[in-house]
């Protein structure tokens, strides 16, 4: 199921204020906060699920991304008029819940559910489930709201954020921090001093609680919190209620790393492959129905979630329901302009780190390819085409003036040279990193800013004075530009990146990071997302 999102809540801790009191007096209500776990929760022991009266129980949350399942089922209740029964011979009971049900799924009290790929990485080998299909991507349902002076993810360094632990919200902020080359530090409470070099996290029970906590701090005039990660409509509520003090930093409208998947109790799936295939095929047919004629199916969707029809239409605009060829590309790792199954899984393992995921499980152990193979052999979806395009906002969908984040990448060049060894494993890995940034974000662009070290500046001044320094400075700018251009050329020629999504500039030695010449000889990556 799609669980609540909570993200950055930045705090600047008060100086020597008594615990529980802000500067100036007054009790702080931190009831939204929950215990920070240092280990992944243990799930109930695995046991096979058994259907009762030919009905498969599937649990979902209140999220438009599951509209295809609801339409295929004709609502939430089991029905002989559903696609599942008419074409595959079983009924489905859909239940809505916002609570984690992984133990129920594991122990056989529940047949199937929906979650996001990152959750698989977190629970690993104890999570005895099978993944037959991709449901779709969240496209703007989730977002990071921050104080107005925060312009990019890098600005969260040394601050404290709130999130929902071990959910896609936790993964989202960890992913963004990792892309900005910032470590993540978990705090047990708001009184503990944050790590000045990291993005610091405290946790709330869900995304709404995180948004409420941040808004409460803003209204009280406190500076403990810098933002929150939550979901619509809470994102809008926080911004509107902040009286200009908060802004939406980024949504996942065009940052497609939150991918919803079907998960089925493993014991049941192994004993009933035809039913699992039918569940996946029915969901894909329902997705196609909603993609083709969304307005026709709004009443069924709205009724299931107790929404107004207009609200259902708005929420559908924030998701991308996957079709069959997109499923094939997603699991094969060849999908364009969206995160892939293996890529998202590995990103989650890496961003949580070995402290929380000490023995990661291979993502292939969860995925059961035979179900998509069977669906493909039937030819039902042979005319479908993969299509995931940049999604424009009401403002027209422009690339933000500020980059979402910046990342320093150090390619190995020969001294005074712009030649880059394209076969060097480290260079290949760094080029792949830049490609993936563009791949998971439709419409985004990258500015490659070349830099050289400034170690020779004083020597140049001794040799020929300021005039000679200026002459060498111009040469340094050109060399740094050539280095950035070399990286761009490798991305286009070796990795197939569209040249229109890359820009280059040379900055010479004008922006040193410090006295370390190795650090200063770099290519800075600025990632501009479409909002």
User: Is residue 181 in a domain?
Assistant: yes
Instruction: Say which residue, 213 or 79, is predicted with more confidence.
Output: 79
User: Is residue 396 in a domain?
Assistant: no
When mean pLDDT is compared across 75-89, 173-187, 440-454, the lowest value belongs to: 440-454
When mean pLDDT is compared across 297-306, 385-394, 435-444, the lowest value belongs to: 385-394
Lookup: tokens for 468? 């000679």
- In angstroms, the CA 194 to CA 180 distance is 18
Instruction: Say which residue, 157 or 164, is predicted with more confidence.
Output: 157
460: pLDDT strictly greater than 90: no
- In angstroms, the CA 415 to CA 427 distance is 16
Does residue 130 sit in the same domain as residue 146? Answer: no
- Residue 5 makes CB contacts below 8 A (sequence gap 6+) with 142, 164, 167, 168, 169, 172, 207, 210, 229, 230, 231
When mean pLDDT is compared across 31-35, 57-61, 243-247, 408-412, the lowest value belongs to: 408-412
**What is the average per-residue pLDDT within 399-424?**
77
19: pLDDT strictly greater than 60: no
Q: Residues 478-506: pLDDT tens digits?
A: 888 888 999 999 999 989 999 999 999 88
The pLDDT mean for the chain works out to 87
118: pLDDT strictly greater than 90: yes
User: Is residue 20 very low, low, confident or very high in pLDDT (cuts 50, 70, 90)?
Assistant: very low
Instruction: Say which residue, 50 or 453, is predicted with more confidence.
Output: 50
Domain boundary among 203, 227, 251: 251
User: Is residue 453 very low, low, confident or very high in pLDDT (cuts 50, 70, 90)?
Assistant: confident
When mean pLDDT is compared across 76-85, 136-145, 338-347, 420-429, the lowest value belongs to: 420-429
Does residue 128 sit in the same domain as residue 238? Answer: no
454: pLDDT strictly greater than 80: no
User: Is residue 322 in a domain?
Assistant: yes
- In angstroms, the CA 73 to CA 130 distance is 21
Query: Which of 144-178 are b and which e, b meaning 16 or more Cβ less than 10 Å from the residue's Cβ?
Result: bbbbeebebbbbbbbbbbbbbbbbbbbbbbbbbbb
Q: Indicate the pTM of the whole model.
A: 0.86
* pLDDT value at residue 1: 42
326, exposed or middle or buried, with CB in 10 Å at 0-12, 13-18, 19+? Answer: buried
Range with top average pLDDT, 160-174, 209-223, 261-275, 516-530: 261-275
User: Is residue 28 very low, low, confident or very high in pLDDT (cuts 50, 70, 90)?
Assistant: low
**What is the average per-residue pLDDT within 319-345?**
94
Does residue 194 sit in the same domain as residue 105? Answer: no
User: Is residue 495 in a domain?
Assistant: yes
Longest dimension (CA), the chain: 91
User: Is residue 234 in a domain?
Assistant: yes
Lookup: tokens for 166? 């071990």
User: Is residue 7 in a domain?
Assistant: no
User: Is residue 113 in a domain?
Assistant: yes
Does residue 464 sit in the same domain as residue 422? Answer: yes
Count how many domains the chain has.
Answer: 3
44: pLDDT strictly greater than 60: yes
* pLDDT value at residue 360: 94
Lookup: tokens for 453? 């070290």
Does residue 179 sit in the same domain as residue 161? Answer: yes
**What is the average per-residue pLDDT within 264-268?**
98
Q: CB of 331 within 8 A of CB of 372?
A: yes
* pLDDT value at residue 456: 66
User: Is residue 531 very low, low, confident or very high in pLDDT (cuts 50, 70, 90)?
Assistant: low
214: pLDDT strictly greater than 80: yes
Show the beta-strand stretches assigned E in 102-193: 112-116, 129-130, 134-138, 142-147, 160-163, 184-186
- In angstroms, the CA 68 to CA 60 distance is 12
- Cβ atoms within 10 Å, residue 425: 8
Does residue 235 sit in the same domain as residue 275? Answer: no
Does residue 413 sit in the same domain as residue 524? Answer: yes
455: pLDDT strictly greater than 50: yes
397: pLDDT strictly greater than 60: no
Question: What's 507's domain CATH number?
Answer: 3.30.1330.60
Does residue 192 sit in the same domain as residue 127? Answer: no
Does residue 211 sit in the same domain as residue 298? Answer: no
Could you tell me the CA-to-CA distances from 499 to 26, 131, 435, 445, 530 in Å, in that order?
Answer: 56, 36, 12, 10, 17
Instruction: Say which residue, 264 or 395, is predicted with more confidence.
Output: 264
When mean pLDDT is compared across 112-121, 315-324, 454-463, 499-508, the lowest value belongs to: 454-463
Does residue 309 sit in the same domain as residue 201? Answer: no
Does residue 364 sit in the same domain as residue 263? Answer: yes
Domain boundary among 206, 230, 251: 251
Residue 70: which domain range?
55-136+259-378
- In angstroms, the CA 233 to CA 215 distance is 14
User: Is residue 244 very low, low, confident or very high in pLDDT (cuts 50, 70, 90)?
Assistant: very high
Does residue 114 sit in the same domain as residue 222? Answer: no
- Residue closest to 177 by CA, chosen among 104, 128, 229: 229
Domain boundary among 378, 395, 415: 378
Collect contacts of 185-193 with beta carbons under 8 A, ≥24 apart. Answer: 186/36, 186/38, 187/36, 187/160, 188/35, 188/36, 189/30, 189/33, 189/36, 190/11, 190/13, 190/28, 190/30, 190/33, 190/160, 190/224, 191/13, 191/19, 193/13
CA dihedral sign, ordered 18, 24, 28, 33: negative
- In angstroms, the CA 518 to CA 497 distance is 28
User: Is residue 327 in a domain?
Assistant: yes
- Cβ atoms within 10 Å, residue 233: 15
* pLDDT value at residue 80: 96
Question: What's 344's domain CATH number?
Answer: 3.40.190.10
* pLDDT value at residue 26: 45
470: pLDDT strictly greater than 90: no
Assign 217 to helix, strand or coil: helix
* pLDDT value at residue 476: 73
Compute the half-sphere exposure of residue 302: CA atoms within 13 Å on the CB side of its CA: 14
Q: CB of 173 within 8 A of CB of 182?
A: no
- Residue closest to 284 by CA, chosen among 60, 72, 62, 58: 72
């Amino acid at each position: 199921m799609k669980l609540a999102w909570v993200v950055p809540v930045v705090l600047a801790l008060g100086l020597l204020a008594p615990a529980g009191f802000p500067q100036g007096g007054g009790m702080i209500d931190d009831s939204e906060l929950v215990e920070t776990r240092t280990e992944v929760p243990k799930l109930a022991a695995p046991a096979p699920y058994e259907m009762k009266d030919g009905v498969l129980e599937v649990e979902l949350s209140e999220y438009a991304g599951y509209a295809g399942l609801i339409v295929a089922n004709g609502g939430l209740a089991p029905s002989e008029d559903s696609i599942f029964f008419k074409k595959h011979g079983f009924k489905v009971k859909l239940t809505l819940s916002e609570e984690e049900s992984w133990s129920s799924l594991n122990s056989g009290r529940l047949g199937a559910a929906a979650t996001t790929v990152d959750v698989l990485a977190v629970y690993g080998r104890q999570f005895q489930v099978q993944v037959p299909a991709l449901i779709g991507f969240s496209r703007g349902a989730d977002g990071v709201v921050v104080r107005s002076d925060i312009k990019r993810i890098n600005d969260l360094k040394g601050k404290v954020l709130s999130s929902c632990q071990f959910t896609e919200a936790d993964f989202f902020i960890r992913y963004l921090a990792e892309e900005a080359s910032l470590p993540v530090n978990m705090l047990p409470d708001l009184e503990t001093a944050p790590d000045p070099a990291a993005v610091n996290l405290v946790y709330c029970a869900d995304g709404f609680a995180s948004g409420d906590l941040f808004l409460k701090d803003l209204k009280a005039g406190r500076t403990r919190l810098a933002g929150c990660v939550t979901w619509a409509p809470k994102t809008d509520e926080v911004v509107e209620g902040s009286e200009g003090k908060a802004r939406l930093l980024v949504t996942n409208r065009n940052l497609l790393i939150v991918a919803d998947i079907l998960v089925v109790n493993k014991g049941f799936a192994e004993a009933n492959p035809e039913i699992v295939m039918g569940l996946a095929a029915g969901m894909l047919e329902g997705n196609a129905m909603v993609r083709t004629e969304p307005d026709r199916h709004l009443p069924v969707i709205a009724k299931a979630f107790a929404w107004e029809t207009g609200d259902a239409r708005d929420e559908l605009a924030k998701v991308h329901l996957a079709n069959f060829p997109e499923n094939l590309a997603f699991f094969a790792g060849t999908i364009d302009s969206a995160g892939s199954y293996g890529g998202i899984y590995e990103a989650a393992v890496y961003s949580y780190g070995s402290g929380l995921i000490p023995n990661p499980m291979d993502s292939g152990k969860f995925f059961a390819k035979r179900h998509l193979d069977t669906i493909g052999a039937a030819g039902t979806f042979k005319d479908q085409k993969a299509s995931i395009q940049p999604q424009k906002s009401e403002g027209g969908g422009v690339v933000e003036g500020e980059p979402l984040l910046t990342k320093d990448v150090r390619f190995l060049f020969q001294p005074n040279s712009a030649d880059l060894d394209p076969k060097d494993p480290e260079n290949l890995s760094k080029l792949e990193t830049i490609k993936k940034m563009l791949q998971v974000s439709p419409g985004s662009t990258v500015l490659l800013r070349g830099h050289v070290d400034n170690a020779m500046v004083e020597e140049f001044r001794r040799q020929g004075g300021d005039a000679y320094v200026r002459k060498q400075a111009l040469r340094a700018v050109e060399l740094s530009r050539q280095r950035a251009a070399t990286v761009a050329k490798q991305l286009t020629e070796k990795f197939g990146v569209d040249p229109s999504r890359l820009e280059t500039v040379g900055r010479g030695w004008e922006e040193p990071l410090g006295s370390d010449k190795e650090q200063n000889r770099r290519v800075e990556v600025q990632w501009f997302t479409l909002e």
